[in-house]
Structure 1
Amino acid sequence: MPRVLVTGMSGTGKSTALTLLAARGHHTVDTDTDEWSEWSGDDWIWRSGRITELLTTTPDVFVAGCKSNQGRFYPLFDHIVLLSAPAAVLLARVETRTTNPYGKTPADRAEILTNLATVEPLLRATATAEIDATQPAAEVARRLEALTTMR
């Protein structure tokens, strides 16, 4: 199985997809924790040493995250998958989720919309695949899992 990066805006279902993939027996890493990410000024970035170690020693893994420094690790991934959904879907999801407080405040919601307009096009330009995240979560996970047979 290859190394797969699952990226996208807040509310696309990255964590949900990883939960489903883990339940199916896949090794998954959600990088939105202190173990994998750290603050650099106002930016929440990947811990370079930890991510490099993971990707150079673990041949089969789904990694989820959206960090400003993730591009420097792209050569270590076999697939870079963008999960995408319209703004209304993202905002509805972050409003109702209980697993992450991000997206509840007006400032967070404005940041999500700004990132959708400015960051998502950059992710799309470098992605090797894009999955419509308005589909049921099980279908998103199935499509991600299908990448494990491709290199």
Structure 2
Amino acid sequence: MTAERMTAGFARVVLVTGMSGVGKSTVLAALNQRGINAVDTDEGNWIDDVDGEPLWSIPLVTAMLDRQRDRPLVVQGTVANQGQLYHRFDAVVLLTAPRAVILERLRNRISSDYGKSPAERLKVEQEIRDVEPVLRAGATHVIDTSAPLADVVAAVERIARGLDVVPAE
């Protein structure tokens, strides 16, 4: 956390990112239950459609990050322009899982139909191959979500509270 943010009374701000099916929404819901303010940028008006590509509305996300807060903020997002704001986060956490685990989760999840069609599954596999390495390169922490959910949530909570500064794998 920067000295400026510490003296201004800001709590830590963490980005959680990763491919579809790694459990980002599940982790965010559990963090909210633990008193961590968690915002899923897939919901609401945080995303603009730019020529068919979902991108963060940089002014809206920046305004959210600028708000003073008394508890940590965890922001979830996986969009092509998120790297423009990496400097605004105290940590960037990549949630990951083995390909087979991700595909099984997509097949069985009831919260969304995304990833169930053959075309979507092929797209997910392509993103695991091509996008996840880019996310990994920008991450400060990498967490394998094939671990028990309680362990994954506890790890993200430690990062959000500034209790875990272990670097990315």
Normalising by structure 2, we get a TM-score of 0.85
Find the counterpart in structure 2 of residue 149 from structure 1: 162
CA RMSD of aligned residues (A): 1.3
Which gives a bigger RCO, structure 1 or 2 (Cα 8 Å, sep 6+)?
1
* 1:27 is the counterpart of 2:37: yes
CA contact 1:56–1:76 (8 Å) conserved in 2:
no
1:26 partner amino acid: I
2:134 and 2:120 map into 1 onto residues whose CA distance is 20
Tell me the CA shift for residue 33 of structure 1.
2.0
Find the counterpart in structure 1 of residue 105 from structure 2: 93
CA contact 1:89–1:134 (8 Å) conserved in 2:
yes
Find the counterpart in structure 2 of residue 122 from structure 1: 134
Relative distance call for 1:140 and 1:26 in structure 2 (3 A) is: same
Tell me the CA shift for residue 137 of structure 1.
1.4
| CA displacement, residues 24-81 of structure 1 (integer Å, 9 cap, x when unaligned) | 1110100112421121112111111110101111453001111001000101000000
* 1:17 is the counterpart of 2:30: no
1:123 partner amino acid: L
| CA displacement, residues 119-146 of structure 1 (integer Å, 9 cap, x when unaligned) | 0000111100100110111111100011
Aligned residues: 151
2:144 and 2:133 map into 1 onto residues whose CA distance is 15
Note the residue ranges of structure 1 that are not aligned, 5 or more in a row: none
* 1:105 is the counterpart of 2:117: yes
Among 70, 75, 81, the residue aligned to 2:93: 81
